[in-house]
Amino acid sequence: MTARALATISAFTLTFSLAASTTALAQVGKSLGVVDANTASEADLATMPSMSPAIAKALVAARPFDNIVALNTFLLGQKLTQEQANAFYGKAFVHINLNTATADEILLVPGAGRRMTREFAEYRPWKTWAQFDKEIGKYVGAQETARLAQYAFIPVNLNTASDDDILSIPGAGRRMVREFKEYRPWKSQAQFEKEIGKYVDAKEVKRLFRYVVIE
């Protein structure tokens, strides 16, 4: 094999490895079509099942929702039935924290059911999606495991998170990659609120803090 061919293979292998690493590190489940209800545009929300322009507008005004139970309460208050709310969750959701989600939160994940309230809790603390794939895949297979993952997140460690970890947080963007890294080492939630609060309002600080942990 020529040196040129070897170099090509090496470059391909490196690219593949980096891509695989990025997928493994991202701490918010990969979307298979479900968007974050706290950051989706009003126009997009209005096109989703059970939505109307008026409900979409009210939803955006009420954001951010601290968790999916809060969003569910809001939608029922808008006179949607639980079945209509569930249909909406097939397209938009507020991610659950795999390490802290209550049974009520897990039960709102479409198709999760009582079994996943047990399995999600049994394997805590969750550290990686590889762990999730392995453990939950025992019960439902790879395709269903991937579908469930898009409704959840594993908190990113503010002091060690990679760029890709941070970018997986809905609405974070490159600016928060810079800011999250600039103020390391992080010591407390109060420090996070002070420093990130320089760039976004208090509601957005609170929303972002849902996705992180300080270790």
Give the model's pLDDT for residue 66. Answer: 97
Q: Per-domain residue ranges for the chain?
A: 31-94, 96-154, 156-213
Phi, psi torsion values for 139, nearest 5 degrees: -100, -35
What tokens does 160 get? 């060690």
97 close to 151: Cβ distance less than 8 angstroms = no
CATH number of 96-154: 1.10.150
156 close to 169: Cβ distance less than 8 angstroms = yes
Give the model's pLDDT for residue 13. Answer: 39
Q: Transcribe 149-207 into DSSP letters.
A: HTTEE--EETTT--HHHHHTSTT-HHHHHHHHHHTPSP--HHHHHHHHTTTS-HHHHHH
Whole-angstrom distance, CA of residue 137 vs CA of residue 12:
29
Q: What confidence tens digit (pLDDT) does each residue in 63-122 have?
A: 999 999 999 999 999 999 999 999 999 999 999 999 999 999 999 999 999 999 999 999
Q: What confidence tens digit (pLDDT) does each residue in 14-61 have?
A: 333 333 333 344 689 999 999 999 999 999 999 999 999 999 999 999
Q: What confidence tens digit (pLDDT) does each residue in 196-206 have?
A: 999 999 999 99
- Asked if residue 1 has pLDDT above 60, the reply is no
What tokens does 147 get? 């579908």
pTM surpassing 0.75? yes
Q: What confidence tens digit (pLDDT) does each residue in 152-189 have?
A: 999 999 999 999 999 999 999 999 999 999 999 999 99
Give the model's pLDDT for residue 26. Answer: 66
Q: Transcribe 52-101 into DSSP letters.
A: -HHHHHHHHHHPPPSSHHHHHHHHHHTT--HHHHHHHHTTEE--EETTT-
Which H/E stretch holds residue 133? Answer: helix 129-149
